[in-house]
């Protein structure tokens, strides 16, 4: 096996990095892939909660890096998918416990174990961001259709270019079609127009996401949820499948986005 | 100081220090440099440093960490010169100068844009994203957009073949005849010489515009008219 390492990052906090990692991981695992998620937010761990694995943690990322356990021991197996694992963040340490070269070493070790490694980056552009992207083959930049989130995403894309982690893909999260219609929210077009990178998914706002997050049951498992479908589509596009963008609105807006994203 | 044993040379300039580092592993050179600075703390206190790194290839990480560590010692790193285009690009991305301009600030005040030769333009074929700061002692031409949060400071004119939504300062050393033109001028702020304008409304229908100072010395922008 030769895993692909994907980092989800955003600059701004609270735009949905952890939710996206959990959902894309679940969607990849449900299609039969072997997946390992890494919570990169040392000191502020969340991904275990969102995936409903909090009570199974014995060892964490820092334990692996500092050699207190073997890699396999820190990989927590998911309740639903036997081929989905989580390496949780340490809660009692901080970002200084991990360096970019630690992550590269860990990523290389994981490559032979799984098909996909998903890294949940901490917010910000400091050390945590640097080590989270160090091992990545591909970076997904996630943003909300809000001016401040888009500004931070733009900064992050600039830093990725400078680090030669080029060609990141974009996820627009929590788009509210009715607010867009009333001109109260940036449109997906506005965001793509400014950031000018490849779009890999648009996730509509959905209350069920919060419910799923609190219950530790990612929404991608819910066949009826639009947001869940959007995350499943992102997983498929990551796997190289050409999935048409969902029609969330009948204004012809989505057809235009699909044109902008180079799809038909 | 024995140059063979110690590949770091320090020279005084009129407005700061020029440090030249030789070949070798960057981590070792950086440590050596910081050690030397630490040993002569009072000499370096408050200094402005230009660094010549020769052929070293430095990434953003390297320069950011060096700049931060220098600033802990009260030292400002303002320029990084290199023969490597990668390093030069890195320095530019961080808003550091990549050459020591000969004219001192007072002299360049009398420098009119008309006298600048054609070579004094910086051509950037990319979109400038938030956090990018370009400073250049001449004209700047951008083939791409200038996004919100990006800044251009040019002593000459600025021409953008794209959309301007960031901050542009033309005639940054006081040239009131400098101008800024773009295909779509919807900046967060424009400055020409000492004038600042923040009330430029974004256009509904983007059109090429040129911003300059009018007879009253106020910043105004007018649409480009095909003749």
List, for residues B206-219, the tens digit of each pLDDT value: 889 999 999 999 99
Sheet bearing B16-21, strands edge to edge: B8-13, B16-21, B48-52, B76-81
pLDDT given for residue A256 in this prediction: 64
Per-residue pLDDT averaged across B110-124, rounded?
A: 63
Give residue-wise pLDDT tens across range A141-165.
Answer: 999 999 999 999 999 999 998 888 8
Residue B22 in domain: yes
pLDDT given for residue A221 in this prediction: 93
Residue B103 in domain: no
Residue A251 scores a pLDDT above 70: no
Residues B148, A154: C-beta atoms closer than 8 Å: yes
Pair (B77, B143) in one structural domain: no
> Which tops the pLDDT comparison, B99 or A112?
A112
Single out the residue in B93, B121, B155 at which a domain terminates: B93
Residues A159, B131: C-beta atoms closer than 8 Å: yes
Per-residue pLDDT averaged across B106-126, rounded?
A: 60
Long-range contacts for B93-99 (Cβ within 8 Å, ≥24 apart)?
A: B93/A158, B93/A162, B93/B60, B93/B132, B94/B60, B94/B63, B94/B64, B94/B67, B94/B133, B95/B132, B95/B133, B95/B134, B95/B135, B95/B151, B96/B63, B96/B67, B97/B50, B97/B135
The CATH number for B14's domain is 3.30.70.260
Nearest to B129 among A154, A163, A164 (CB): A154
Nearest to B129 among A100, A158, A163 (CB): A158
Residue B107 scores a pLDDT above 50: no
Question: What is the pLDDT of chain B when averaged over all its residues?
Answer: 82
Residue B165 scores a pLDDT above 90: yes
B4 pLDDT tier (thresholds 50, 70, 90): very low
Please list every residue in chain A whose beta carbon sits closer than 8 Å to the beta carbon of residue B149: 151, 154-155
Residues A158, B130: C-beta atoms closer than 8 Å: yes
Pair (B112, B210) in one structural domain: yes
Instruction: Identify the domain containing residue A85 by its residue range.
Output: 4-260
ipTM above 0.85, yes or no: no
pLDDT given for residue A38 in this prediction: 98
Yes or no: say if B56 and B87 are a contact pair by the CB < 8 Å rule.
Answer: yes
The CATH number for A128's domain is 3.40.50.300
Residues A196, B127: C-beta atoms closer than 8 Å: yes
B19 pLDDT tier (thresholds 50, 70, 90): confident
Residues B130, A151: C-beta atoms closer than 8 Å: yes
- Rounded-to-integer distance, Cα B137 and Cα B135, Å: 7
Of the residues A132, A194, A196, A197, the best mutation for testing chain B's interface (the one with the most B CB atoms within 10 Å of its CB) is A194
Instruction: Identify the domain containing residue B66 by its residue range.
Output: 8-93
Pair (B124, B212) in one structural domain: yes
pLDDT given for residue B115 in this prediction: 54
Report the 10 Å Cβ neighbour count for A43: 16
Residues 6+ apart with CB under 8 A from A151: B130, B148, B149
Nearest to A155 among B61, B127, B129 (CB): B129
> Which tops the pLDDT comparison, B112 or B13?
B13
Residue B102 in domain: no
Nearest to A163 among B59, B145, B149 (CB): B59
pLDDT given for residue A264 in this prediction: 43
Closest-approach residue (CA) in chain B for A158: B129
């Amino acid at each position: 096996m030769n895993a692909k390492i994907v980092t989800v990052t955003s600059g701004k906090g609270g735009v949905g990095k952890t939710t996206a990692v959990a959902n894309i991981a679940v969607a990849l695992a449900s299609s039969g892939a072997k997946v390992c998620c890494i919570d990169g937010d040392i000191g502020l761990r969340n991904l275990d909660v969102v995936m409903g694995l909090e009570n199974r943690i014995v060892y964490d990322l820092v334990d692996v890096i500092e050699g207190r356990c073997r890699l396999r021991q820190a990989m927590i197996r998911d309740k639903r998918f036997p081929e989905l694992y989580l390496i949780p963040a340490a809660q009692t340490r901080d970002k200084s416990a991990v360096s970019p070269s630690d992550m590269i070493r860990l990523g290389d070790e994981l490559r032979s174990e799984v098909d996909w490694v998903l890294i949940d980056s901490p917010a910000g552009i400091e050390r945590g961001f640097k080590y989270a992207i160090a091992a990545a083959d591909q970076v997904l930049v996630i943003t909300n259709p809000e001016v401040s989130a888009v500004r931070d995403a733009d900064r992050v894309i600039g830093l990725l270019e400078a680090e030669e982690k080029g060609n990141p893909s974009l996820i627009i999260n929590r788009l509210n079609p009715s607010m867009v219609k009333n001109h109260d929210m940036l449109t997906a077009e506005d965001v793509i127009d400014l950031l000018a990178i490849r779009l890999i998914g648009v996730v509509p706002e959905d209350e069920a996401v919060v419910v799923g997050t609190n219950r530790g049951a990612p929404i991608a498992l819910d066949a009826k949820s639009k947001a869940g479908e959007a995350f499943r589509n992102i997983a498929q596009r990551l796997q190289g499948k050409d999935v048409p963008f969902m029609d969330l609105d009948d204004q012809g807006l989505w057809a235009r986005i699909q044109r902008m994203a180079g799809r038909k | 100081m024995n140059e063979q044993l110690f590949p770091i040379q320090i020279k005084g300039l009129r407005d700061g220090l020029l440090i030249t580092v030789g070949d070798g592993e960057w981590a070792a050179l950086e440590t050596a440099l910081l050690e030397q600075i630490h040993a002569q703390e009072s000499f370096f206190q408050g200094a402005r440093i230009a660094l010549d790194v020769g052929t070293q290839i430095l990434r953003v990480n390297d320069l950011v960490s060096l700049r931060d560590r220098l600033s802990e010692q009260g030292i400002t790193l303002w320029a990084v010169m290199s023969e490597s285009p990668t390093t030069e690009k890195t320095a530019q991305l961080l808003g550091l100068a990549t050459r020591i301009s000969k004219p001192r600030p007072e002299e360049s005040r009398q420098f009119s844009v008309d006298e600048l030769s054609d070579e004094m333009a910086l051509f950037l074929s990319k979109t400038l994203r938030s956090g990018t700061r370009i400073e250049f002692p001449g004209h700047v031409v951008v083939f791409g957009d200038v996004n919100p949060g990006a800044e251009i400071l040019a002593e000459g004119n600025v021409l953008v073949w794209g959309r301007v939504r960031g901050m542009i300062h033309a005639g940054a050393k006081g040239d009131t005849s400098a101008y800024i033109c773009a295909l779509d001028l919807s900046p967060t702020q424009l400055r020409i010489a000492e004038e600042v304008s923040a009330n430029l409304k974004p256009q509904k229908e983007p059109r090429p515009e040129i911003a300059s100072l009018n007879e009253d010395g106020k910043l105004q922008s007018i649409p480009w008219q095909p003749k």
